[in-house]
Structure 1
Amino acid sequence: MSFNATVILIGVDIPGSGLLREGRPDPRTGQWTLPGARRGRSDQAATQTERRFDLVDLDPFAYDTPKEINAWIEHLAGTEEQLRLLGARDGMLTDGDMPEYLFRRTGGIVGLLRRLVQDGCTRAMETGQEELTIPLLDEITINLGNLLDRDPQAGEVPAVPAKPAPKRRQKPRNTVFDNKAAGK
């Protein structure tokens, strides 16, 4: 206990889990507050642990204001820097329609984004495309069914936004009656 360390633990409903006891946000400061200890020998140790942590509640990203959109794009840029696809390029996740597309697919939930990007990278490597594109990601269904160690009732498995409907390809225009000589 004689040295300082930062420990970052990520989880769902940490206060409700009993790990640090139940905490409540203070409406005045926005910080989580933890109730005092109940009398009892084991409760004193739990209270001591509670006092050593600050809880930070992180909601999914939002996409309504320029500030929120910028935060999402900055997160995508950080993700993009970590990708090691042979065809990867700057702006692969941050340019054009991609940020909005990724937000629609994931609802701003980092875990869903991670799953979509991981599965997309796997598909990109398998197909030899080596780049994430909207058509490639359209082929991916975000599947959280293989997270057997997660408890859906505790909020550990987020709701997955509906996959966008596939775009219908338009038939090419019939050019049989075009006068090709008129353009010469």
Structure 2
Amino acid sequence: MAKLLNGRIESNALKHKPTTRAGVMITGGGYQGKTESACEVAAAFEDRWLALHHYLNPDALPGARDLHVPVAYVQTPVTAKPKSTCKAILSFYGAETKNMDLPDLVRQVASSLHDHGTKVLLLDDITRLRMHRADDQDTLDLLRAFMSMHVTLVLIGVNIPASGLQREGRCDTGTGQYIYAPARHAQVHGLEPTQTERRFDLVELDRFRYDTDEQIAAWIAHLAGVENELRLMDASEGMLTDGVMPEYLYQRTGGVVGLLERFMEDGCREAIATGKERLTEELLEGITIDLAGAPGRDAEAGEVPAAPSPRAARTRKRPRNTVLDDRGPAAAQGAG
């Protein structure tokens, strides 16, 4: 994901032709680190871009001193409409939005993106758009039209393929890209003079798995990184990676990095409060991951995953590998 996203952002930022910039869609389950991963890639690009131009906006007009903002992050409104989406983008810049109709808001968005030298626009929780609503369809058309503003549009959401966002697009089997017809708002508001089709690369960020040796090793490596960041007085090497602890943590979190982070935070607070200063299975048994009412999350959009209960973690066991079992002559004859 990081390689594709970084390559797309850098390639688009260095283009000078007045063409529509290809975008990226990042999908996956809730709490799986999509936003954090995308923001890390975008932040690294911003650091490089600012250093390349000596922290000055290369496209700034003479006498203008607009803040140089190569990357903008906006959360999609829960009840997204074209006007509310434009206002959410403009609020990132602190721009004025009062007494503006939609055409004025769209022009103000275009001006803000250009004046601040924005090269990347990240729109989080994009699957809050419901494609059975006319307002949401208009909002998606408007977002596609933003691609003509010479920015890389990065859409982040839960289970994008099932959301209907790609309903009007088709997948190019040769490139793996989704291709969309021209947006209606581009024609209505004159945002794009050409009929260039919009393209998105779809990237899926999945949870950790625990089925093969490689998957288990990747999970343990992640736990080792988490363990290295914990600052408990009685913590020891292998606290999260030795014995049955990796499997137990996987069963409690389902391999979802966001749930693991929440689990570790609550566990550390309990370890400090009780004076144990160490994470053990016994201590973690008393911790319940409760995501109900999580701020800024829309459960109806799939942004809040179900957390396994402690009892489910104790009773669930991995099936025994029977590949090398000797089933006897009877089984061999039956197979023949």
TM-score by length of 1: 0.71
AA matched with 1:162: S
CA contact (8 A) 1:105 1:164 kept: no
Matching of residue 40 in structure 1 with residue 75 in structure 2: no
SS of 1:33 mapped into structure 2: strand
Q: Offset of 1:70 from its aligned partner?
A: 1.1
The normalised TM-score by structure 2 is 0.41
Q: Distance in 1 between matches of 2:275 and 2:170?
A: 49
SS in 2 for 1:126: helix
CA distance in 2 between counterparts of 1:132 and 1:10 reads 37
Give the secondary-structure state (helix, strand or coil) at the position aligned to 1:56.
strand
Q: Cα RMSD (Å) of the superposition?
A: 3.6
Q: How far 1:75 moved relative to its partner?
A: 1.1
Q: Equivalent residues in 2 for 1:161-180 (5 A)?
A: 161-164=308-311
Question: Retained in 2: the 8 A contact 1:37–1:43?
Answer: no
Give the match for residue 224 of structure 2. 77
CA shift in 2, pair 1:103/1:54, >3 Å = same
Structure 2 unpaired stretches of 5+: 1-11, 16-39, 44-121, 130-139, 144-152, 156-164, 315-336
> Structure 1 vs Structure 2: percent identity of aligned residues?
45
Gaps of 5+ in 1: 168-184
Structure number with the higher helix fraction is: 2
Conservation of the 8 A alpha-carbon contact between 2:252 and 2:313: no
> Is 1:65–2:212 an aligned residue pair?
yes
Aligned to 1:120: 267
Match of 1:94, as an amino acid?
Answer: T
Q: Using CA pairs below 8 Å that are at least 6 residues apart, which structure has the higher relative contact order?
A: 2
Q: Using the TM superposition, give the Cα deviation of residue 40 of structure 1 relative to its aligned residue in structure 2, in angstroms.
A: 3.5
Q: Which residue of 1 aligns with 2:162?
A: none
User: What's 1:132 paired with?
Assistant: 279
Structure that is richer in strand per residue: 2
Query: Which residue number in structure 1 is paired with residue 241 of structure 2?
Result: 94
Moved segments of 4+, more than 6 Å = none
1: CA distance, partners of 2:212 / 2:300: 31
Looking at structure 1, the residues matched to 301 and 127 of structure 2 have their Cα atoms a distance apart, in angstroms, of 12
Cα deviation per residue 1:131-157 (whole Å; 9 max; x = unaligned)? Answer: 111001001011112413211111110
Residue range with higher mean Cα deviation, 2-11 or 146-155: 2-11
Query: Deviation per CA, 1:47-80, whole angstroms, max 9, x where unpaired?
Result: 99x76x7553112111111111111111111111
In the alignment, structure 1 residue 7 sits paired with structure 2 residue 42: yes
Between the aligned partners of 2:310 and 2:229, the Cα distance in structure 1 is 25
Q: CA deviation at 1:126?
A: 0.5
Contact 1:98 1:134 in 2 (8 A): yes
Q: Deviations over 1:2-39 (max 9, x none)?
A: 66994176955x46644657357948468553524324
**Distance between the aligned counterparts of 2:182 and 2:285, measured in 1?**
51
